[in-house]
Each structure stands twice: as C-alpha cells, then as structure tokens.
Chains A and B, each alone.
Chain A
Amino acid sequence: MTGSKAGPMLEIDRLAKRYGDTVAVADVSFGIEKGEFIALMGPSGCGKTTTLRMIAGLDTPSGGEIRLWGRRINEDAPWEREAPLVWQHYALFPFLSVAKNVEFGLKQRGLPAAERRRKAMEWMERLGIAGFAERGVDQLSGGQRQRVALARALALEPEMLLLDEPLSALDPHLRVRMQSELVRLHRELGITFVCVTHSHSEAFAMADRVVIMSEGRVQQIGAPREIYRRAANRFVAEFVGGNNLFSGTAAAAGEGLLRVEGPFGTALAPRPADVALREGGEVTLVVAADRIDLGAARSGAGNEIEAKVVTLEFVGSSVTVFLETAGGAELRIQRSLRQIENTPLSPGDAVIARWPQDEGFFLPA
C-alpha cells in the first residue's frame, strides 16, 4: 500500500471530463476527510453527477487524478472499487426479491449464503424493510425502494457511500424524513458520504461541507453556514438563495467602510481586504434576507432604505416580504410568521428596511 492514512481519504485533483467538444467537468479539486458528509451541489449540468460517477469509476476522467488514501484510482474498474452508489431512481434489480437485491454485492464478494442472508437481514432491519424481504421491488413504494437501495449499498460496509440525488424522486414529506435519516445513518456509521444534490436546502441540512459547482468548476467549498453567510462570488450568493444583491457604484466612506450607491439607494459596508475594489467602480453588496429588519420610521442607525411592500410569500412558519425601492430595486426580507403576526404588513405599506453596516459584504460586480 502506498500512501498513509494521514492525508485526506479521497483527493480530487484537477479533475476533468470532456465528451468530444462538450466539457462536463472543467477543473475540479477538493479533498474529502474520512467520515465527512460532503455535498456536491449546483444547477443541472454543473458537473456534479459526472464528478460522482468518476469517483465510482463509471466514467473515466479525461484529465486530473482521483486518489484514494494517496493511491491513484483513475484506471481502477468500477467493480474493483469499494464505493457503492445509491442511484436517484434506485436502479434496483427488478428480477430479484428485496432480500436478493440487498445480498447482491455480498454475493459478488463470495460470502457464503448463510452469512450473506444474515448480513442482508441485519441491514434490512436497520432500514425498516425486513418485512418486505421476499417481495419484488416493483411492489414497493418510492420510499421503500430508496431504503432497499441504501441497504444494498451499505451491506457492503464500505468506507464511502455515494448518493446521486437521493431525495429528489421522493414525495416532499418523505424527503424531509429521509433527509434526517441519512444524517442519522451517517452519524451512526461514521463512514464518508458523498452526496450530489441540486437543492441547497438539502445540501445545507445534511452536509458537513458543501462543494458548490457551476459549469464544471468549483465555486466555493465550505461549511453550510460559512457559504450561506459569506458567498465567495455572485453565482454562489444567488444560487444559495435568501440573499439580496445590490448593484451600484463604490465610493470611499472612511474608517474601513465603503459606500455603495445604486437604484436601491445608498448603503455602507466594511471595505473588503480580499476583493480589489476601485472607488467609482461597480460593486455588488450582499445582504442576507434574514438580517434585514423592518421599521415604520428612520432611526438614524445602520443602513436604512425606504421601500414599499409589494407582496408577502408564506412558506410554513417563515414569510418572505418583497419590497420595492423608489429607484425600482427589489428587496426581499425574511421574517418569522410570528413577527408578521405581531406587526401586520400589507402590499402598498411604506416601510424602512434596516440592517447594521457589518451585516453586508461586497463582491466584485
């Protein structure tokens, strides 16, 4: 064995995949630690699934390297790898019973029949599908099939589990349950989960770290909170949702502050050290929707912008309030249902949107 168990378990190094002239993955690098829950997230066509498939060996990289414990595995056949995948549509074998599906991988590894059956039963019990052992997979619901697919993969007791959009084929209420179940499984098993998803809510709810991809490149890697609070670029800020992006012209405001003026009005925010900004240049100010307060009158503190309520959107216990400024810019503010009930708002109301200066941050335009 080359390589030690000291470094990251899996290293994706300048990985690329081209199909003729189309580039699925342009240049992707990141590392995965043992036991981590990593989400690969991005819009469709961003290369996340192709990256996952290359880790599984189902697609061959056209450039770069995948290393497992320091050893290059680019050329290993998929059946030589220990990286079971849970498919979006489960890919269960319809000609086998549930139990035989779960046993499938163990059988290929030459486990004796009794041992196989015992292990498969263990995993079916763990995932709550032991009652369906002798049924055909076509007699199961989507949620049950998902569990069979999970049991089939986990029965191999791998050090890494790959999941391709594991929740997107499920009903919304099942999705939430399965989501917390995946988190629980991950915690109990202590193995690495690599999960592809296009939903930021799924990724942020489950993963320790999220790799955000777009057009075959990594846009940002980080803990969900970090990404949510500090988007690295405009794409991420828009993709993760819940952000206001104000465009305008930058001007010095002294004491490490920068002023930005645009259709939304005027606001101040800390002058960033890492982003090269010119005074008089175009910038984007990002303010999270849940960091903006609403008031009836100016208080003279922080950033304050006059706006009119356009509409309110109720999603469960949270409410998104859409505002429009005099200059025609759109603002969104997230409130809890309770806050809205305490101070009712209706379309047409004139309000003051207010947030502390250090809650906003700048990105290059």
Chain B
Amino acid sequence: MRFAAVWGLPPLLWQLAFFVTPLGFLVAMTFWSVKNFRLIPDATLANWRFILNAGFFRSAYVYTFWLAALTALIASLVAFPAAYTLAYRLKPATRRFLIFMLVVPFFTSYPVRIYSTQIFFSPEGIINALIAPLGFGPVSVLNTPTGTVVGYLVLTLPLVVLLQTFALMNVPKTLIEAAHNLGCGRLRTILTVIVPSARVGLIVAATFTFVLAFGDYVAPLYLGGSKPPTLSILIADQVKSGNHWPRASVVAAIMILTLIVVMTGMLGLAYGRRGGRR
C-alpha cells in the first residue's frame, strides 16, 4: 500500500494537474459564450446546438473519421509484411538494427518530417521530376485528401510496424510450428494462427493509428491544404475567425468522446471473448 502511495502518487498528481484539470476546463468552456470577441463564463447550450447543427461540422466529422479509419487500414496492411519479416525472417542483429532505424524518424519533430515530404509532392517536386520523362504526370498530391493520408502515414507507419513486430514476436513459436505440422503453408499459417494470436497487438496498433490520425493538425494543414477541413483544422478556424473558444471546445470535446468510444470498441474487440472463439 505504501509502495503504491509513494510511487503511484506523483504520476497520478501529474495527470491530474496537466490532463484532467485542462480537460475539465475545456468541457466547462463549451458552455460559455463569446461577446465582442471576449469569453464570458456562462451555462448555455448554444455552442453545442450550433456545432451539432452546422453542415460544415458534420461533413468535416465524417471526412476526418473516414480518413483516419482509412489510414489505420492502409497502415496496418502496409506494415504487416514488414513486421512479419522483422519478427520471423531476420537474424536478431539485423532485426535490432532495423528496429533502431524505425525509431530514428522520431528523432526529428513531426512537422519537420511533413515539411520534408513536400519536397517530394510539390508540383515541381521529386516525384513529378522523376515520372515526367516517362510521360506520366504531373500528379498533384499536395493539397488533396491523398496528401493528408500520406502525411498521416508518415506520422504513424514506423510506429505501426514497431507495434506489429512486437505483437508478432510474442506469438509462441510452437503455435506456428504446430500449424505447419498440421498442414498449413506459410500464407495459411498467417491467416489461421499468426493473426488470431497477435490480434490484441494488431488491433492496438490500428487503434493507435486511428487516434493519431484523427487528431492530427499538421498533415491536413500542410499536405491536405485544409480543404476539405478536418476537425482539427476546424478547431483552429473557430479560434482564428472570431476567437470562438467555446465552439472550438465543443469540437474538441466531441473528438475526445469519439476517441473514447472508438478505443472502447476496439479494445473490446481485442480482448473480448478470448479470440472470438467459434
């Protein structure tokens, strides 16, 4: 008990001070009002009513949700072969080196990485320069939804590969051998044994991707060109045009609520009914 109190309390207090309190403040602010660009404490539902009825909010919500889900799917599928190779097909030393390389992107801050991808995707960028002599292009990725997704992937892909690799490495080797022994080739073993065994880790990786993409501000701004706006762009817009912090808070609160629902659902899927046994 004393151990829990001494060592558990500081992080608890930290979370309380820097996460729960601002969150409470954010929720409270959703009921405030704005007059002459000034915040006035209030208890009105006007902000909620306005945002929930606004067409631009609804379409932004659907758009953001869809892009984040798409990113989670693409990242999971693209990462899997890499994670499989890392987990099963490489020597330990090579695996260690590549895992290190997957952490390297996090050395630089994310906006810097997004800026650097612009070099590839700008109209006169590397990609168009490369495909033009072959008679293709020019392709425009910058300021399109594709650009946003590319940005999300820059953010999430190394993380997804890492999480999936650890998930696959935790699959008992004897289960894979048992599958081989009972007649499963490599591909069949992946589908029948490896994916079900690594289910929790794979779902957590996908959920992480969704969470990161759903709330990201940088990719939709610099690569997506804010058009159409995602929810995070919307928050910034509410503040910039009219200093409407309460409305921005409503959007933020809805986003947090959405993430809680998605997380709960995904974790239920991961841990519920041990393996979805039939």
- The answer to whether A91 and B178 touch (CB under 8 A), given A79-B183, A79-B185, A108-B188, is yes
Stretch at the interface among A82-90, A224-232, A245-253, A335-343: A82-90
Q: Digit string of B264-278 for contact with A (CB within 8 Å is 1, else 0)?
A: 000000000011111
Stretch at the interface among B36-44, B48-56, B193-201, B243-251: B193-201
| Contact status B178-A77, CB under 8 Å | no
- The answer to whether A109 and B276 touch (CB under 8 A), given A91-B174, A91-B177, is no
Chain A residues closer than 8 Å to B185, beta-carbon distance: 77, 79
Chain A residues closer than 8 Å to B175, beta-carbon distance: 91, 93
| Contact status B188-A78, CB under 8 Å | no
Closest Cβ of chain A to B272, distance in Å, is: 12
**Is B184 on the interface with A (CB-CB < 8 A)?**
yes
| Contact status B174-A104, CB under 8 Å | no
| Contact status A91-B172, CB under 8 Å | yes
Closest Cβ of chain A to B276, distance in Å, is: 7
Number of A-B pairs, beta carbon distance below 8 Å: 71
| Contact status B196-A95, CB under 8 Å | yes
CA distance A79 to B175 in the complex (A): 14
Closest Cβ of chain A to B201, distance in Å, is: 13
**Is A364 on the interface with B (CB-CB < 8 A)?**
no
| Contact status A96-B182, CB under 8 Å | no
Query: Counting chain A CB atoms within 10 Å of each CB, which of B172, B183, B193, B278 scores highest?
Result: B183
Q: Which residue of B lies closest to A155 (CB)?
A: B182
Contact for A156 among B174, B178, B182, B277, CB less than 8 A: B182
Chain B residues closer than 8 Å to A109, beta-carbon distance: 183
Contact for B274 among A85, A104, A136, A156, CB less than 8 A: A136
**Is A94 on the interface with B (CB-CB < 8 A)?**
yes
Chain A residues closer than 8 Å to B177, beta-carbon distance: 58, 78, 85, 91
Chain A residues closer than 8 Å to B193, beta-carbon distance: 93
Contact for B181 among A78, A89, A100, CB less than 8 A: A78
Q: How many residues of B contact A (CB 8 A)?
A: 23
Chain B residues closer than 8 Å to A136, beta-carbon distance: 274-275, 277
Chain A residues closer than 8 Å to B277, beta-carbon distance: 95-97, 100, 136
**Is B113 on the interface with A (CB-CB < 8 A)?**
no
**Is A206 on the interface with B (CB-CB < 8 A)?**
no
Q: Which residue of A lies closest to B193 (CB)?
A: A93
- The answer to whether A104 and B276 touch (CB under 8 A), given A78-B177, A89-B174, A91-B175, is no
| Contact status A100-B278, CB under 8 Å | yes
**Is A152 on the interface with B (CB-CB < 8 A)?**
yes
CA distance A105 to B188 in the complex (A): 12
**Is B227 on the interface with A (CB-CB < 8 A)?**
no
Q: Which residue of A lies closest to B195 (CB)?
A: A95
Q: Digit string of A335-363 for contact with B (CB within 8 Å is 1, else 0)?
A: 00000000000000000000000000000
Chain A residues closer than 8 Å to B192, beta-carbon distance: 104, 108
| Contact status B183-A105, CB under 8 Å | yes
**Is B180 on the interface with A (CB-CB < 8 A)?**
yes
Tell me the chain B residues, 20-70 only, with Cβ under 8 Å from chain A.
Answer: none
| Contact status B182-A95, CB under 8 Å | no
Q: Which residue of B lies closest to A88 (CB)?
A: B174
Closest Cβ of chain A to B177, distance in Å, is: 5
CA distance A94 to B275 in the complex (A): 8
| Contact status B180-A95, CB under 8 Å | no
**Is A56 on the interface with B (CB-CB < 8 A)?**
yes
Tell me the chain B residues, 194-215 only, with Cβ under 8 Å from chain A.
Answer: 196-197, 199
Chain B residues closer than 8 Å to A58, beta-carbon distance: 177, 180-181
- The answer to whether A138 and B274 touch (CB under 8 A), given A77-B185, A95-B197, is yes
Q: Which residue of B lies closest to A137 (CB)?
A: B277
| Contact status B274-A79, CB under 8 Å | no
CA distance A84 to B179 in the complex (A): 10
Q: Which residue of A lies closest to B277 (CB)?
A: A97
Query: Counting chain B CB atoms within 10 Å of each CB, which of A95, A97, A108 scores highest?
Result: A95
CA distance A100 to B192 in the complex (A): 12
- The answer to whether A108 and B274 touch (CB under 8 A), given A87-B178, A93-B175, A95-B199, is no
Known interface pairs A78-B180, A87-B178, A108-B183; 14 further A-B residue pairs with C-beta atoms within 8 A, sorted by A's residue number:
A78-B181, A79-B181, A84-B181, A84-B182, A85-B178, A87-B174, A92-B178, A94-B275, A95-B196, A97-B277, A108-B182, A136-B275, A156-B182, A156-B183
Interchain Cβ contacts under 8 Å between A and B, 5 examples: A79-B180, A83-B181, A94-B197, A94-B274, A100-B278
B interface list, Cβ under 8 A from A: 172, 174-175, 177-185, 188, 192-193, 196-197, 199, 274-278
A interface list, Cβ under 8 A from B: 56-58, 77-79, 83-85, 87, 89, 91-97, 100, 104-105, 108-109, 136, 138, 152, 156
